[in-house]
Structures are given as structure tokens and as C-alpha cells.
Amino acid sequence: MENLLDGIEDILLMGPGPSCVHDKVYEALGKKSIGHLDPYFIRIMDAIKADLRTLLNTENTLTIPMSGTGSSGMEACFVNLVEKDDPVLVLINGVFGMRMQDVAQRLGATVDTLEFEWGTPVVVDAVKTKIAQKHYKIVAVVHAETSTGVKNPVAEIGALLKGSDTIYLVDAVTSLGGMEIDMDAWGIDAIYSGTQKCLSCPPGLAPLSFSNKAVAALENRKTKVPNWYLDLSLIMKYWKGATRAYHHTAPINMHYGLYQALQLILEEGPDNVYRRHLHFHHELVKGLEALGLSMLVAPASRLPMLNSVRVPEGVDEAAVRSTLLREYKIEIGAGLGPLAGKIWRIGLMGHTARQENVTRLLTALKANLF
């Protein structure tokens, strides 16, 4: 009988995620499974919480990885914080801001949006004007918009909300582990991420953190959290305290992988990791421009870990991606929404952000475009 696993190739992952995984993380994933209430596993859980707090620069007690991909983190934030008719403002300049809007609307919130051209950042003055006109329970924004390669001014938006009772909700799926996040200093009340981007762990967990303000909003809800699986008031009982209450069977080996991935970042030093991402981003951009290619996003707003490159006139972008994958074993991403067919999205996330990978991609592009 054919075993399809035998046909899996070693692909250089340079798309919008997942990223390349360090061998030590693969080794961790292969460790023997133990019970999700085993005292030794609880020690690993506690270490993950502490490491996530370090990486997020937060003192928040409720800092845990949710079971599920980054989208489960997004759903968890909204489902725990939103009740029917709550006023929510979503700042949109790409696909993932649109997803926030969709989820909030499904929960019955009264959702307003501020929309900006894809490929450009959120304009802080526009946000300032909008929040002066109406009180919002939640203001939500994507830190690193993966669909465009834009870095949004998360710290500056947080400064606008300082001292208010508005909950500031941030998507950090692509930014965590690849660029600085200072959750407490920036006034972020709820944040979520995913393991498969700059943390360089396979998809399957969604780091999440709630401030005391966000926890209070959860505890003071008028109605039950409508999603049992993502109900943090229940999940918290599994993640803290001397006696852990069973909620669901956690993905044991995924936690091993996340633990090891966080250890690798902390051993290298977060600031060194961020500098590495930025350095190889500059190397990539320099090489792309030498090939005559141009970037979608202005330099000041570019993400180091997700690079949007304009497809030259007359080039079949899908054919280039197919050739890279088939002949060079390199994966890059396509554009989404209004940018479909117009850009390639090249990831330099986590373990992928290495000189040899930049060189390999540039060599392959040169051979196929010129």
C-alpha cells in the first residue's frame, strides 16, 4: 500500500506561512506524549506561559496558547469580549482586518470600519477623529497585515486609547517573534497570534493574552460566552492554579514544539531575532530591486517578515510560483483580494530568515524572469 507521507518533499517555505521549522522543534514534536494533566506537562504549560509573557512584554496572568490555529485566537478574542450590539471599530487595510469585521458581525456587534488602501498603513489621525465621534467597546487592528506586507502603527493607536475603557484588540499572528511587541507599554488589552509564522512551529496553537481590563470585561458579561470550546472563563481553570480543571485534551506534542520554539528565540535573544529579520529583509529587497522588481509597500511601512513584490507587466505570476515550487522546491505566496495576480508575497519568517534562503530564492527568480 502506498504511504503518501513518503512523498513529502523538503520545501523551502518562503510564503506567507507556514515557515521553515528548526530541527530541534521537529525533535520536540516527536517526544513521547504524556497526559494533559500530568504534573510534568503542567510544568511545560507554566514555562510556555512565562516565555510568552517575556516575548509579548506583558505581566498579564491570562497569557496562554489556545488550541487551534491563529484563527482560533482571533475567534477566542472576539467571542469572549463581544456581546450583542456592542459597538466595535475595526481598522481595515487587508484581508485579516476584514476577517475581524466578519467575526464581530457574526456575534451581533454593531461594527463600524475605517478602511485604508491595501498596501498602505492605517492613518492614526483618521482613527483619532473616528473615536472622538463615538465610544467603542473594542477597537481592533492587525499589527502585521499578511495580505499586503504592511506594518500598522499599533503603538500610536494604543496611545489614542490610553486612559479610556475601550478594549484595544490586536492581531499579532505574523508579528510575534519577528518584530517587537510591547503589549503593556502600547496599551494592548487583547492580542492573539499563531505558531506557524515567526515562531517557526507548525500550525496548531494560537498564543493569546488578555489584560486585566479584558479579563474584567469577560467576567462582567451579561450573557454566556457563546462558544464553549473557546470560553476563556473555563479554559483559565485548566491553565492556572494548583488544581487544574479538565476542559479539553490539549494537543500535547504541539505544546512541546511551541516550548522548544520559544526557547530558541529566547536563547538567540529577541532583539537579535528582530535584527536578523530586518537584516535579511533588506538583503532580499536589495536583491529584488537589482533584478528590476519593485515593492508594493513604502519603506517606512514594510514588514521585515512579509515582503510584497509587484509582478512585472506581462509575467504570469502563477506560472512563476509553480516553477519555483516544482523545479526549485521553493514556495512563495500569491496576492489576495484586489492584489490577486498583482503581487507575490515572500516570507522571511522565523527560521526562514537566513542568508542561504534569500540567495536561493533570488537565484531562482533570476533564472526564471530574465
171: Cβ contacts below 8 Å, ≥ 6 apart: 74, 96, 97, 100, 140, 141, 142, 143, 144, 191, 192
Whether 302 and 358 map to the same domain: the answer is yes
Q: Which of 235, 266, 297 is the last residue of a domain?
A: 266
pLDDT recorded at residue 276: 98
Q: Coil, strand or helix: which one is 369?
A: helix
Whether 44 and 109 map to the same domain: the answer is yes
Whether 273 and 305 map to the same domain: the answer is yes
At 159, which helix (H) or strand (E)?
Answer: helix 154-161
pLDDT recorded at residue 241: 83
Overall domain count for the chain: 2
Digit-by-digit pLDDT tens for the chain (370 residues) are 999 999 999 999 999 999 999 999 999 999 999 999 999 999 999 999 999 999 999 999 999 999 999 999 999 999 999 999 999 999 999 999 999 999 999 999 999 999 999 999 999 999 999 999 999 999 999 999 999 999 999 999 999 999 999 999 999 999 999 999 999 999 999 999 999 999 999 999 999 999 999 999 999 999 999 999 999 999 999 999 888 999 999 999 999 999 999 999 999 999 999 999 999 999 999 999 999 999 999 999 999 999 999 999 999 999 999 999 999 999 999 999 999 999 999 999 999 999 999 999 999 999 988 7
Whether 124 and 223 map to the same domain: the answer is yes
Whether 112 and 178 map to the same domain: the answer is yes
Q: How do beta strands 87-92 and 138-142 pair? A: parallel
Per the structure, the complete domain to which residue 214 belongs is given by 24-266
Q: What angle do CA 342, 346, 348 make, to 5 degrees?
A: 160
Task: State how far the alpha carbon of 241 is from the alpha carbons of 58, 61, 133, 203, 236, in Å.
Answer: 19, 11, 42, 28, 9
Q: Which of 225, 244, 266 is the last residue of a domain?
A: 266
Which amino acid, 333? G
DSSP 305-325: SEEEEEPPTT--HHHHHHHHH
**Nearest to residue 77, comparing CAs of 99, 55, 51?**
99
- For the entire predicted model, the pTM comes to 0.97
Q: Rounded to whole angstroms, how far apart are CA atoms 187 and 173? A: 18
Whether 57 and 166 map to the same domain: the answer is yes
In the block, which residue shows the cell 510584497? 308
Whether 313 and 331 map to the same domain: the answer is yes
CATH number at residue 192: 3.40.640.10
83: which DSSP letter?
-
pLDDT recorded at residue 192: 98
pLDDT recorded at residue 242: 81
First to last CA, the chain: 44
Whether 277 and 234 map to the same domain: the answer is no
pLDDT recorded at residue 369: 84
pLDDT recorded at residue 130: 98
Contact 292, 81 (CB under 8 A): no
pLDDT recorded at residue 187: 98
pLDDT recorded at residue 110: 98
Q: Which of 204, 234, 266 is the last residue of a domain?
A: 266
In the block, which residue shows the cell 510560483? 321
Give the start-end residues of each E strand in the chain.
12-13, 62-67, 87-92, 110-115, 138-142, 144-145, 150-151, 167-171, 190-192, 205-210, 306-310, 330-331, 333-334, 343-347
Q: Rounded to whole angstroms, how far apart are CA atoms 170 and 160? A: 14
